Amino acid sequence: MKILVAVKRVVDYNVNVRVKADQTGVETANVKMSMNPFDEIAVEEGVRLKEAGVATELVAVSLGGAPCQETIRTALAVGADRGILVQTDAALEPLAVAKLLKKLVEREQPALVLLGKQAIDDDSNQTGQMLAAMLGWPQGTFASKLTIADGKATVVREIDGGLETVAFPLPAVVSSDLRLNTPRYASLPTIMKAKKKPIDVVKPEDLGVDLAPRLKTLKVVEPAKRKGGVKVGDVAELVDKLRNEAKVIP
């Protein structure tokens, strides 16, 4: 069974993100970048399925500029067999990403597509669902447990009321949640071996995908600074402040 896992290059989660002076986006120049944490979990799950003998090949896919090869190399060091980079400098919206992944799925014919439930840079949480809809495949989102057996996938997912278990036939799309697993660290030997693993570079034009944006960002601003709290003397003063200052109660 072949697994396709999508990995995105984002600003490292430890970095204090700054908004550009012209409010067109966030500053990425000279900023540490890394693999999206939810995608790290997806890669780890793919490697575990391969180690368990469920999968025979794990292909890491990334979309973006040439530096995304570093993100693919990270996945290769963890255990992926080869990589594919759809190289473009265009700003990719979730719809465009889903379209590109669909073309790669049609070319690679995997039985399972794994990806993070969302990316920490835009928090859209759309790509997995769009991809499944375009392919006409079943999907399991926010997976906190994944089991593959007898040509079926069983996903335990967290919902407001607790845990929900869904089962569906392969091929399918599964997006990983935080509690699916704990990603491993790549060792020095595996990092060195990853340098020899192949990465296929393709262009969006080769896949026949229109990357024209459907959304326009008006401006990006930093969140308002939080004000310090105050102590109140009694309940009556608290109610008065909630009603007249915060205006959260009538």
- List the chain pLDDT tens, one digit each, 250 residues: 999 999 999 999 988 888 888 888 888 888 899 999 999 999 999 999 999 999 999 999 999 999 999 999 999 999 999 999 999 998 899 999 999 999 999 999 999 999 999 999 989 999 999 999 999 999 999 999 999 999 999 999 988 889 999 999 999 999 999 999 999 999 999 999 999 999 999 999 999 998 988 888 888 888 888 888 888 999 999 999 899 988 888 8
Which tokens hold the place of 181? 């697993």
Cβ within 8 Å of residue 17, ≥6 positions away: 11, 26, 27
What is the pTM (predicted TM-score) of this model? 0.85
So what's the pLDDT on residue 28?
84
Q: How crowded is residue 225: how many other Cβ atoms within 10 Å of its Cβ?
A: 5
- Tell me the CATH class for 2-244: alpha beta
Question: Contact, 5 vs 127, CB < 8 A?
Answer: no
Q: Which helix (H) or strand (E) holds 108?
A: helix 94-108
Q: How far apart are the first and last CA of the chain?
A: 60
Query: Smallest Cα–Cα separation from 95: which of 71, 122, 66, 68?
Result: 122
- Say which residue the tokens 């970048």 belong to: 33
So what's the pLDDT on residue 147?
96
Provide long-range contacts, Cβ within 8 A and 24+ apart, for 196-201. 197/76, 197/80, 197/81, 197/82, 197/83, 198/82, 198/83, 199/69, 199/72, 199/73, 199/76, 199/82, 199/83, 199/84, 199/85, 200/82, 200/83, 200/84, 200/85, 201/84, 201/85, 201/87
Cβ within 8 Å of residue 68, ≥6 positions away: 9, 62, 85, 87
Name the DSSP class of 241: H
So what's the pLDDT on residue 11?
92
Question: Contact, 141 vs 128, CB < 8 A?
Answer: yes
So what's the pLDDT on residue 117?
95
Which tokens hold the place of 174? 């599964």
Which tokens hold the place of 34? 């890394």
Name the DSSP class of 196: T
Which tokens hold the place of 7? 């990995």
* Alpha carbons 62 and 108: distance in angstroms, whole number: 14
Query: Smallest Cα–Cα separation from 97: which of 122, 73, 77?
Result: 122
